[in-house]
Amino acid sequence: MKKLYILLFSFLWLFGFSQSYLPLLNVNWRIEKIEKNNTFHFPSVFAGFGMLNKQFSTITNSDYFHLSSGLYNSTFGEITWNETYFKIPSVGSTFGVYEGTNYQAVQFFDGLIFEFYRGTIVDGSNSENYYFTYYENSNGKNLIVSRTNGDKIFYTTELLGTTETSKSKISVYPNPAIDIIKIENLKPNASLELIDSSGKLVKSIYNNKSSKTEVNIKNLPSGIYYLKVDVQSVQRIIKK
């Protein structure tokens, strides 16, 4: 009977472990942001992506798990699972040349993703453990992948729409602006993030209690910025 209990416990533990990564598979993940050295970087121009799925190898005649993530180019590799982390011993990357808007920002963001999953090389192999945290809320699924050095990639399935002021209840003016931008019709406890064209967070307001607020942009360089409100609306701001 004791052996039976041990076998049953082992089976249940393995069953629970085997299910831990299943919610992550075959999901169209979108990269919300990357945290590197305590600085947040956001994808510009278009959304980053991520995919974790099971594939079949005709060489080994067996299944394996595959990760692919990027913005324009893709970083990819075969992964192995543990209870709370995974390993990706070696990665590859596509090398397409993006020549559109903000191409330098796109290349930079793709470089962050490649560096993140390239990890720490020991004896020619990435020895890093990538810890993952998964949770769901009313807006969708969320995944945070963390390196041991504290860097993180935040994935979500929430849709991020780039909307014009006419399509949004949120009012932003003046635009273009020189010193101050005013934002009105905000929801209670709204979060606002101002992002430059490279995807770097330059201003932020969290848990704003009022339905309106102001953001001082006087000391920011002239150029194009993106105002993100509650991770649901993005509006382009021109700083003169």
pLDDT (tens digit per residue) in 9-68: 443 334 344 457 888 888 889 998 999 999 989 887 677 889 898 887 777 787 888 999
pLDDT on residue 167? 41
**Regarding predicted confidence, which is higher, 114 or 62?**
114
- Burial category of 19 from C-beta neighbours within 10 Å (exposed 0-12, middle 13-18, buried 19 and up): exposed
Average pLDDT, the chain: 81
94-103, 137-146, 203-212 — which is least confidently predicted? 94-103
Digit-coded pLDDT (tens) for 156-171: 987 654 443 334 467 8
**Regarding predicted confidence, which is higher, 166 or 210?**
210
Amino acid occupying residue 86: F
Query: What is the 3-class SS of 209-231, one letter each residue?
Result: CCCCEEEECCCCCCEEEEEEECC
Delineate the domains of the chain, giving CATH numbers in brackets.
2-156 (2.40.128.270), 161-239 (2.60.40.3080)
What is the Cα Rg of the chain in Å? Answer: 21
Closest to 172 measured CA to CA, from 206, 220, 202, 217: 217
pLDDT on residue 11? 38
pLDDT on residue 191? 84
